[in-house]
Structure 1
Amino acid sequence: MRFRVSVMAVACAATSILVVPAAMAAPTVVTNVQGYTLANNKLVSFSGLAFDKGKVLATGNNTALVKRYRAATLVDGEGKTMLPGLFDVHGHVFRLGFRRNEVLMGGTQNLDEALSKIRDYAKANPNRQWLLGSGWNQVIWKLGRFPTAVELDSAVADRPMTLRRVDGHATWANSKALQAAGITRDTPDPAGGRIERDAAGNPSGVLVDKAQLLVTNIIPAPSDDERRLALSTALAHFGSLGLTSVGDAGIGVDEARIYREFADQKKLTTRVYAMISDVGDDFRALNTKGPLKGYAQDRYNLRAVKLRGDGALGSRGAAMLEPYSDDHGNKGLLLSDDATMNSKVRIALKAGYQVNTHAIGDAANHQILNAYEAAYKDVGGRGLRNRIEHAQVVTPADIPRFKTLDLIASMQPTHATSDMNMAEDRIGKERLKGAYAWHTFLQQGTVVAGGSDFPVESANPFYGLHAAVTRTDHEGKPAQGWHPEEAMTLLQAFRAFTLDAAYAQHQEKVLGSLQRGKWADFILVDQDPFKAPAADLWKTQVLQTWVGGERVFRKE
């Protein structure tokens, strides 16, 4: 599908990326669309959008807009659906870029298929000294256990290889990698981590949570050129998915430097709301002038800190108040004791940063809620729109505290549909009452901001919208949705990925809806999500993506 534009497009290096500078066409009117946006807490429709110098002038009837702006450049939307640019408030941008150049285990149905894919990748990359991959899930493989180093050795034995689990909270290593890290039966489990062992006590090949650092800390660091390639790869992917703004949940000095470089060179084709990882050396280096707000015409922000409370449910690293239903001696892992977590929250809030803390298990959520409550009394910061990232399993008594503490629930709808095959096994029916509880949070007035946690999940926001509304997989299973009482309406889900996401990033005055004075970030898609069957939402294809009045993607 091609769209007729009365100005010449300037092609970028990637064939799927087109940038049309706003300065070439002031103002511009996009006509003949079925447009939707939020205004005054309601969904409004329009057939035309006018913008100038990258910002919205008006939405409304396209004929009236053409008459009002007689000198405008006209862009024919050919009857397609226009939406505000979509957000993903929680992902890992560089990790996504790197991962798209690694061996990916997502979609493999069993261990043999995964090992075959690994062998092929190793043969195709003979010069890589350390092989990397990700996306494995022993639950889908129906192993009933973690994979082993010996099994990975059968595919790659000549070089170190490590593969992150789909949730990022466990790493599968071959024997060469374990040897390079000096991991033996005498190596103790580090605080906040666990070395999986065989019956004889020898390392079996999987490292959980902070134990992963034993190998990841010795993997050669990427060069700046490799980081630039990763960022360019990720940005092109975002444009193709209709993501005009993403939150990067945990960066350091190196990533911040590349972001500033891309922003200064006008190459940041998706807006980035970055969070400094923890309050250690990187925080001290990046906090010399305080939070960075609205840099490069709101293309880049560095005004939040990302903390981590626990691991993930799939690897049983999520910290639970009571033992796992399928592992009675295990409650998961808190990554910090209460005093340390309280101190970290206070440091970040006192410096004026929004604090966004990863908490999946009910014990981690309880710890973080207590930390925010204590910090507000000590240093303030309640108005910084602090967030709990994931808020995945919360004891029902703690859910109202999100509202009383003015916290945002930053949640990932596809986590529910990915986890539904194992969540009840892990925590049982009773604890599911406070799990993936989007509707409960919304009903009490808590803002729910949408994301995916890419590359743990697909970055496609239409997958998130589909999961939020249906609570089914792409085959429509289970038929009535998994715990459908916690589903969102389509309007709630749309808001979570637009205006409420912008609010969660302190950007609702400039982004999140197509209203006068806001940036002209919008997408054109191939179906009307407000008229299409909910079961088909995930099939939506993005045809064009515009950021600040510049077209950054067109589907050929």
Structure 2
Amino acid sequence: MTNPHTHTNTHTCAQCACHNPLWRKLETDQAEADFKARLEQLIASNWGIEQQLPTAFAMYSGGTIRPMIDGQTQAVEAIGFAGGKVVAVGSYTDVSAKMRALGMQPQDHIQLADGHTLLPGLIEPHVHIVPTAMTMSWPDLGPYQGQHLLPQYDPDTVINAAKQAQAELGKGEWLLGTGVDPALMPFKDGQLDDINIDRLDAAFADTPVYWLSASLHTAYINTAALQVIAKARPESERDAFVAQVVSQGALQELQQMGYGFDAIPTAQKQQLLLDLPGNIYRIFKTANERGVTMMFEAGMRDYMKRMLQLYQSLMPQNVRVGFAQLCESVDNAEAMDTCKAITESDLYQPFQAAVKLVSDGSNQGLTGYQCEQYSCNPENNYGVFNFSTLPPDDADADEKPNYQTMVNTIINKGWPLMIHANGNHAVDLALDVYENALQGESGLTLRHRIEHCSLLSDYSAQRMQDLGISPSFLIGHVGYWGYAFDQVIFKQKAQQLDRCQTMLQLNARITLHSDLSVSPIGPLRMMEQAVTRIMEKSPDQAMLNPEERVTREQGLRAITYDAAWQCHTEQWLGSLAPGKLADFVILAEDPLTIADDRKLRDIPVLQTWVGESCGTKKRWHTPE
């Protein structure tokens, strides 16, 4: 057992994509009505056309077909679909005979070209759909070009991109932006570089600026914005508020960031809702273009759920959506219904399969909860922790929700639990509460998870496996931010990041995720980063702890078969065994035989299909 941590810090709460500081500002009935009206308007304009197979039957042969049955990667000669399900897998002779008996016509047989590869639909087991869609129409000031890092990304790059957006602003509008990521900028004097009020004043003296950081821990502003924000504060608090923000260099945490959002002109905030349906559409379209047929929303709120339910009731379903309901208090946990088993019919609408707790923050945002202080500034920073680990009746207990009570309540109601834990201390505390709640039962019974699970010692890895807790790794910690962790943020401790092979050697089942919007959608990219462990910002493309690399076979299983298992849908998804749903993709190359590991993310996705009871449908698209 781990003793309660005694470190202190000045943070009031941790943040991740499910703690978007803007979200609660839009939780109104009027906002929901506006969203529906905009969606209906777009549908009436013939927006979002889908393509369907012209027949209820389809047989594929040729190329390479890997159905991933039982998680195995062996290829088969042919596969047949009918009525939105897999009906035959195996030899060409057996499959064709089965399909002809069902009524398949010769034109229903599709011959794959040499090299083309048919796989089960790829699965994103941890994303944030609606929170990401909220600010997608703001200028993108992030470090990505598709799934690759920009060749140059620094404060000047961000400011120059913002200046282009400034030229398009209307009178009185603020210069908004999203995705700013200091952890992917060049280091300055051995520390992370940053953007502060002085820097933004020099570039934008008169136009108010409000930019969200990629970690959602910070909002970057200038003095013009700060003056407007401060006017809304009580007069007695203004001077102290301004002094604090100036000393920080930016707005920090939910409360201050919320003050900033409140000050943005009303018309620009209303535009968020007008853009929301189109942005959700673009997320699903991008997912299809990268082979994804299911996404798991890792932190659903009731209002977000109503939005997605409305969206999917009116639009063709081209991505299945499962979710974990976000729980933020003991009252939330106690108010939850008991868990009900998922049925096949649930897969045609957003369905709940788990509950989510967020225990700490972001490692690259310097808020993941650590046993040791961060190796970079500010000093004495151990990150943040959202819960109390002391008994509720302890005299030293604070007002934070009691961690153990929440976990016990959720598990006793039969819910699978996903605990966000980035820092090594947060991981250990998650294992503590799991051990106490499980009372000797294996966590595999309900498939409890630790999300991100970024830093693992040998002891914690073994303990995790002993308890039956499976990890889902934000593998971009290695590929995208690994160099910053290795050189500045953690240094030697960075060797403990995303220990995929360690967990596999302990016979754990692992998955890989993007945590959209934290990193781009793309299971093949995540597979590549787990296979190579190349730190993409490293000048010599060095690997971070290469012993933790996975094989291609292990990586493919993590984004198909085991991802479905972790999301409680393996009965229908994740492989193409007879009786499962016809969710599949066709790639231009085989990820298991492509010549260069570093090209996995760039394999073209030729087709993405999502099976329905009435047939099989392809990804949809916006008409030219």
Q: Does 1:120 align with 2:164?
A: yes
Q: Does 1:514 align with 2:576?
A: yes
In 2 relative to 1, CA 281–373 (structure 1 residues): closer, same or farther, beyond 3 Å? closer
Q: Does 1:331 align with 2:382?
A: yes
Cα deviation digits, residues 317-342 of structure 1 (max 9, x gap)? 11111112234422111122224222
| Range moving further from structure 2, 340-349 or 354-363 | 340-349
Report what 2:5 is aligned to. none
Q: Does 1:307 align with 2:375?
A: no
Equivalent in 435, 438, 446 of residue 373 of structure 1: 435
Of the two structures, which has the highest relative contact order with CA contacts closer than 8 Å and spacing of 6 or more?
Answer: 2
Report what 2:66 is aligned to. 36
Give the distance between the partners of 1:33 and 1:66, measured in 2 at CA: 16
Give the distance between the partners of 2:454 and 2:372, measured in 1 at CA: 15
Correspondence list, 1:41-120, <5 A: 41-62=71-92, 64-70=94-100, 71-72=103-104, 73-79=108-114, 80-105=116-141, 106=143, 107=150, 109-120=153-164
Report what 1:186 is aligned to. 240
Equivalent in 216, 226, 249 of residue 298 of structure 2: 249
CA contact (8 A) 2:155 2:194 kept: no
- Unmatched runs of 5 consecutive residues or more in structure 1: 1-11, 189-194
Correspondence list, 1:358-397, <5 A: 358-377=420-439, 383-397=445-459
TM-score of the pair, normalised by structure 2:
0.77
Give the distance between the partners of 1:312 and 1:210, measured in 2 at CA: 18
Correspondence list, 1:470-481, <5 A: 470-472=532-534, 478=540, 481=543
Cα deviation digits, residues 395-419 of structure 1 (max 9, x gap)? 3321212112211101122221112
Give the distance between the partners of 1:147 and 1:153, measured in 2 at CA: 11
Query: Which secondary structure state, in structure 1, belongs to the residue aligned with residue 608 of structure 2?
Result: strand
Report what 1:9 is aligned to. none
Equivalent in 326, 342, 345 of residue 277 of structure 1: 326
| Range moving further from structure 2, 408-417 or 123-132 | 123-132
Equivalent in 286, 289, 305 of residue 240 of structure 1: 289
Q: Does 1:457 align with 2:519?
A: yes
Report what 2:27 is aligned to. none
Give the distance between the partners of 1:186 and 1:50, measured in 2 at CA: 69
CA contact (8 A) 1:263 1:296 kept: no
Query: Which secondary structure state, in structure 2, belongs to the residue aligned with residue 514 of structure 1?
Result: coil
Give the distance between the partners of 2:128 and 2:314, measured in 1 at CA: 22
In 2 relative to 1, CA 536–282 (structure 1 residues): closer, same or farther, beyond 3 Å? farther
In 2 relative to 1, CA 325–213 (structure 1 residues): closer, same or farther, beyond 3 Å? same
In 2 relative to 1, CA 373–86 (structure 1 residues): closer, same or farther, beyond 3 Å? same
- The structure that is helix-richer by fraction is 2
Report what 1:550 is aligned to. 617
Cα deviation digits, residues 498-543 of structure 1 (max 9, x gap)? 1110111111111101111111111111111111121221221111
Give the distance between the partners of 2:459 and 2:434, measured in 1 at CA: 16
Equivalent in 56, 61, 81 of residue 26 of structure 1: 56
| Range moving further from structure 2, 428-437 or 26-35 | 428-437
Equivalent in 405, 409, 417 of residue 343 of structure 1: 405
Which letter maps to 1:539?
D
| Range moving further from structure 2, 496-505 or 158-167 | 158-167
Report what 1:207 is aligned to. 252
Give the distance between the partners of 2:206 and 2:341, measured in 1 at CA: 46
Report what 1:468 is aligned to. 530
Give the distance between the partners of 1:265 and 1:515, measured in 2 at CA: 30
CA contact (8 A) 2:138 2:177 kept: yes
CA contact (8 A) 1:438 1:487 kept: yes
Cα deviation digits, residues 40-61 of structure 1 (max 9, x gap)? 4421212322111111112233
Q: Does 1:537 align with 2:600?
A: yes
Matched positions, count: 533
In 2 relative to 1, CA 391–218 (structure 1 residues): closer, same or farther, beyond 3 Å? farther
- Superposed CA RMSD in Å reads 3.3
Equivalent in 409, 417, 433 of residue 355 of structure 1: 417
Equivalent in 494, 515, 530 of residue 556 of structure 2: 494
Which letter maps to 1:19?
Q
In 2 relative to 1, CA 282–67 (structure 1 residues): closer, same or farther, beyond 3 Å? farther
| Range moving further from structure 2, 61-70 or 495-504 | 61-70
In 2 relative to 1, CA 375–214 (structure 1 residues): closer, same or farther, beyond 3 Å? farther
Correspondence list, 1:412-491, <5 A: 412-426=474-488, 428-472=490-534, 478=540, 481-491=543-553
Displacement of 1:33 after TM fit? Answer: 3.1
Which letter maps to 1:140?
L
Give the distance between the partners of 1:484 and 1:242, measured in 2 at CA: 27
Correspondence list, 1:259-270, <5 A: 259-265=308-314, 267-270=316-319
Report what 1:168 is aligned to. 216
- The structure that is strand-richer by fraction is 1
Instruction: Give me the identity figure in percent.
Output: 23
Report what 1:5 is aligned to. none
Displacement of 1:285 after TM fit? Answer: 12
Query: Which secondary structure state, in structure 2, belongs to the residue aligned with residue 268 of structure 1?
Result: coil
Give the distance between the partners of 1:318 and 1:50, measured in 2 at CA: 47
Displacement of 1:180 after TM fit? Answer: 4.7
Displacement of 1:178 after TM fit? Answer: 3.7
Query: Which secondary structure state, in structure 1, belongs to the residue aligned with residue 518 of structure 2?
Result: coil
Query: Which secondary structure state, in structure 1, belongs to the residue aligned with residue 68 of structure 2?
Result: strand
